[in-house]
Amino acid sequence: MYNGQAVTLKSIENGLVELVLDAQGAPVNTLNSIAMRELGEAVEIIAADSSITGSSIKGLLISSAKPAFIVGADITEFMSMFALPDAELQQRLAESHALFSRIESLPFPTLTAVNGMALGGGFELALSTDFRVLTKDARVGLPEVNLGIYPGWGGTVRLSRMIDTASAVQWMLTGKPQKAAVALELGVADRLAEEGELRAVALELLQAAVNGEVDFRANRQRKRQPIQNSSEVKAMAAEMAKKLDPNYPAPIQILEIVATHASLPFDEALKVETEGFTTLAKSDAAKSLIGLFLNDQLLKKKARSWSKQAAPVKQSAVLGAGIMGGGVAYQSASTGTPILMKDIRDEALELGINTASGLLDKQIEKGRLTEEAKQAVLGGIQPTLSYDDFSNVDIVVEAVVENPAVKASVLAEVEKSVPATAVLASNTSTISINQLAESVSRPEQFCGMHFFNPVHLMPLVEVIRGSQTSDETIARTVAYASAMGKTPIVVNDCPGFLVNRILFPYFNAFNRLLLDGVDFERIDRVMEGFGWPMGPAYLADVVGIDTLVHADHVMQEGFPVRMGHDGDVIAAALLDAKHLGQKNGKGFYEYGKDENGRRFKKASEKAQQLIEDRRSAQLELTDQQIIDRMMIPMCLEAALCLEDGIVETPAEADMGLILGLGFPRFRGGALRYIDTLGLEEFARRAEEHQSRGALYQLTEGFKARLAEGRSYY
């Protein structure tokens, strides 16, 4: 009947026809323009045939020939539509609505068989049929909110009329794939089937509907009726909207349009959905969030490419059982790579094992792990005080104290005990990889492997290439990081590597603002309003003032012009006053518990006084000027890291900041932020603050881009 590149229509048993999604040459089925066109053509054939009296077609089954049903619209292609004028974008959406409504008005029962995943537009297609049968391990959902948009092909209307509206709103607000059992319980799935029985169960239900044993028209009516308790929906939506972050417009819009179209007839409700969609599609947040999805795909591709070249890592080892070493041991063992955990003191080893055990207990409490699995993971960590068992180790992560001499001696020592092919990787956060490479006899097999604290939560691992590091070493280290469930980014050696190098101009700018008389509580409020999880003063307390001062010296030596000599005047003064930050309860803020045991954080008068004693100006700045003063040095350093070849792509630079620092996702990263402002506007703002030091100097590469109008994405 119809054979396309992505869609096949064939006649099966008893007057049933089947639409099979199977995008040729693609890893997954997406509803790209080819698939949508072919779906339309195939549905037209069905509709034309069924309009003829005595048509043989009695029912329609939609299925997939791939391991997953459909993962959604093709994001890259769909995003390109966002540049269209509103009216044209709305017209495109209306065409998709028309296709789904065409399916919904066929004169016989229709059913979708879902295997694997039905997400976004794929799930919206499934919602347009009368019935849905899912495999028990299938997942369905509407993840569009993660992209800064919302379902644009009728999902906000159909789902909120097929299940209770509160659940429908939760599905759309969280964007999470939902279990098949939940879909069945809520009524958006009609049957569940074992993996190998999906087709049989689907055809049985479809045949029952064809035979009139199940009323398919009732399902259609349910979708087309306005929501009964629409006034309660409006009240619920208004209440929920108050708790949402205004920096992310999509969840707010979802609540608004569901509340608006709840009481409307079906076709008018679709129009409300379409009108609201175009506003969101053009938002900066949508551009940034879709950009992050595409960045993530790039990082996955690069990690897969490295991993393909890598020799396997069957046995690893970590030197140092402290917070980082214990975290590496836990992460390695809990993702299936057995690891030796070496230290020089029994107590340290005990602490490392207890840390891992505590993390596993938390997994058990959450019902994600059994006691037996916990023991298996702990069995994958072999504590040791010697190198005796290092003869079959494939990679060693050095995570001893942040002291160059100690690291150098430990690396030289362990190298004698491991196979000649083993990789040595240092978890150092501030010491030059090239410098440490001088302590080993096989520098080509040495690199950096910088985890972020806490290791089990922070996704990023910087894999740092020294000047002599071989590709094999990088490949093996990337493969091991990926096997640990981490996101590796390969960077070249320089002070601070990628993330800390970009972070320090931000801290230096903060220091400059304090000396210019701006209050640190206000700076924190402004930067948290910008979207950072913590303002710079709070972040400094969490990182640790001593750590900050130490790292700042490394950055000052590395980049004397930009990273200034007054970069840490305030932090050094806090350190002198024994204000170490959260670790000893006082830094910029004081931390403790009040008489009711409630934690408090309040500005430290001592900190305020020592800042006042060092203040050299009293500038009156607007909030936007504070944001510019903080963000411009960070963005320029990211630009410089790209120009200096520390990182290969804007995507990797931005993902490093998102994953390593918690850079606000809706802003997409430092280089995305420059693009959002526009290079000219960014340059104008940098010019405004030139007098506050070299941190605001435009880089040569930036100037070239500015002259050519070449954005970062």
Which residues make up the interface to ligand T1G (CB under 6 A)? 27-28, 30, 71-76, 78, 117, 119-121, 124, 143-144, 147, 149, 151-153, 155, 297, 300-301
The answer to whether 634 and 660 have CB atoms below 8 angstroms apart is no
Measured CA to CA, the distance from residue 357 to residue 393 in angstroms comes to 23
Please tell me which residue in 97, 261, 450, 689 is annotated as part of the active site. 450
CB atoms within 10 A of CB 26: 15
Element (H, E) at 573: helix 569-576
Element (H, E) at 90: helix 86-104
What is the closest distance, in whole angstroms, from the C-beta atom of residue 556 to ligand T1G in the complex?
A: 41
* 456 noted as active-site residue: no
* Residue among 305 and 392 whose Cβ is closer to ligand T1G: 305
CA distance to 243, 536, 550, 621, per residue, from 689 (Å): 36, 19, 27, 11
Cβ partners under 8 Å of residue 442, min gap 6: 415, 420, 424
Measured CA to CA, the distance from residue 503 to residue 637 in angstroms comes to 9
Nearest to 455 by CA among 317, 333, 324: 324
* Residue among 482 and 556 whose Cβ is closer to ligand T1G: 482
Nearest to 72 by CA among 36, 104, 19, 20: 36
What is the closest distance, in whole angstroms, from the C-beta atom of residue 696 to ligand T1G in the complex?
A: 38
**Structure tokens given for 56:** 């043989």
CB atoms within 10 A of CB 591: 17
* Residue among 122 and 587 whose Cβ is closer to ligand T1G: 122
* Residue among 28 and 554 whose Cβ is closer to ligand T1G: 28
- CA 657 and chain centroid, separation: 11
Place of tokens 């992050």: 292
Measured CA to CA, the distance from residue 477 to residue 450 in angstroms comes to 11
What is the closest distance, in whole angstroms, from the C-beta atom of residue 96 to ligand T1G in the complex?
A: 7
* Residue among 260 and 508 whose Cβ is closer to ligand T1G: 260
**Structure tokens given for 449:** 């492997």
Place of tokens 């055990």: 357
Measured CA to CA, the distance from residue 361 to residue 376 in angstroms comes to 13
Q: Which alpha helices (DSSP H) does 448-568 contain, by range?
A: 471-483, 499-515, 520-530, 536-543, 545-558
What is the closest distance, in whole angstroms, from the C-beta atom of residue 182 to ligand T1G in the complex?
A: 17
What is the closest distance, in whole angstroms, from the C-beta atom of residue 459 to ligand T1G in the complex?
A: 13
Q: Which amino acid is at 532?
A: W
What is the closest distance, in whole angstroms, from the C-beta atom of residue 125 to ligand T1G in the complex?
A: 10
- Among left, alpha and beta (phi > 0; psi -120 to 50; other), residue 404 is alpha
* Residue among 117 and 408 whose Cβ is closer to ligand T1G: 117
* Residue among 292 and 395 whose Cβ is closer to ligand T1G: 292
What is the closest distance, in whole angstroms, from the C-beta atom of residue 372 to ligand T1G in the complex?
A: 28
> Could you list the active site residues?
450
